[in-house]
Structure 1
């Protein structure tokens, strides 16, 4: 895709799952990829695989809930790779539970990771993008934030807030050629899904129920999303901002 070669992309939660697939695809497109993850070993493994495939990448351990650590990690990666062109806010976490059985400590953890985390990263990179008059910020949101999801009430609220945040900030910085968009995955076969629904017979029943609801007859794979992310980071998407795009096999169809 146009305009990605030798530009820098930072991807949070890139040690596994969707984030790792995105980091690998952006590296394939010729980008210099900064891998951010709370798991040092997983981040380093992603970098190792990218380099073995001929790409360029570097890693920093980063807890997205800690703004000071976020700023330090971004600064360290930019000092080695260069100024950030594209930020992919991918890191997230949840645990399925009826809302009436949850407590404030759980709410705070979900909010800190899924909402404040993207705000921290965005605040760390957006001023540089505005100053340089160009950049892309892509949020891996969720269809849970568009239609709601039983057992994911606080998470759904965070993703809905993220979608609204991206739209509002897109208006503020559009004249500086900084574009913000949301990508909303549906249910996806990742390690996070395994921890979410569990394994064994009960976990398989939940997965089977998910599949029955998807017109294309399967849940997503991590590789279903990086192409759209690469497009939104590229010059081919230079007239797209403030948009929310579902990638869910038709599970949700928005006009």
Structure 2
């Protein structure tokens, strides 16, 4: 079955992993809805450039996914959702006893609750179309824990659990739900952290990457946004029609340990 003409909504997709997935989808012939909390000329120009490059329809729809109403409104504004990629997320690091309650609430709202709201809004559209894919971008932290990341780890574990529930509720339909669990990915945000890491530890670039940033990633290589885009595109293919309710790790062996 061709994916051409189908519409994918990718949350948090004006940079990083989300943009990498959106690029792979557009290259695969999908129409794409980009999203983030901002609403700038650059956001809309990004959509226009992607549409021109691949000859598909690409729109940018602003939505603050900390609001459940706005998350549902994103899907409703798109008007169609054959593929939903819940990627939006934020992070904060602190010990549990010092973790700001507001940061906890924001991380749970954006990283977990928004995916519930978008999925609830998208499933009726998928059922009406007779086909659908829900792809949740979890994390290696959806399968493992790290100190000082209580909200993020809780949210990502929750995403994995919700993925399984959606898969069971749609198991007899041509709809699948899966979670991709990346390890460390070379995004612009991570790239910007490398010089500070080098300075802090007095290391050259390669050593700082291997010994600090990728300490827990056995391959000692970053995953790339292209690799994640390819994984997401595979999950949309007929080859993945019986893959549902599971996690796919793209983490260089992190969760094999």
TM over 0.5: yes
Does residue 10 of structure 1 match 2:13? no
Which moved further from structure 2: 236-245 or 192-201? Answer: 192-201
Shift of 1:220: 2.2
Is residue 14–residue 46 contact of structure 1 (8 Å, CA) maintained in 2?
A: no
Q: Distance in 1 between the 2:54 and 2:189 partners? A: 28
Aligned equivalent of 2:71:
70
Is residue 82–residue 129 contact of structure 2 (8 Å, CA) maintained in 1?
A: no
Shift of 1:194: 5.9
Unpaired runs of 5+ residues, structure 2, are none
Superposed counterparts of 1:38-77, under 5 Å:
38-41=37-40, 42-56=42-56, 57-77=58-78
Q: Distance in 1 between the 2:6 and 2:225 partners? A: 23
Q: Distance in 1 between the 2:112 and 2:191 partners? A: 22
Q: Distance in 2 between the 1:119 and 1:55 partners? A: 31
Shift of 1:23: 0.4
Unpaired runs of 5+ residues, structure 1, are none
Give runs of ≥4 in structure 1 deviating > 4 Å. Answer: 194-198, 203-207
Shift of 1:233: 1.4
Q: Distance in 2 between the 1:149 and 1:177 partners? A: 36
Compute the RMSD of aligned alpha carbons. 2.2
Shift of 1:96: 2.0
Shift of 1:192: 4.0
Q: Aligned residues, how many?
A: 249
Aligned equivalent of 2:116:
119
Aligned equivalent of 2:246:
243
Is residue 149–residue 156 contact of structure 1 (8 Å, CA) maintained in 2?
A: yes
Change (3 A) 1:89 1:195: farther
Superposed counterparts of 1:1-255, under 5 Å:
2-41=1-40, 42-56=42-56, 57-78=58-79, 83-193=80-190, 199=196, 201-202=199-200, 207=209, 208-253=211-256
Change (3 A) 1:198 1:137: farther
TM-score, length basis structure 1: 0.89
Q: Distance in 1 between the 2:67 and 2:215 partners? A: 39
Q: Distance in 2 between the 1:55 and 1:39 partners? A: 25
Change (3 A) 1:133 1:52: closer
Is residue 15–residue 46 contact of structure 1 (8 Å, CA) maintained in 2?
A: yes
- Aligned with 1:53: secondary structure? helix
Shift of 1:49: 2.8
Q: Distance in 2 between the 1:233 and 1:4 partners? A: 8
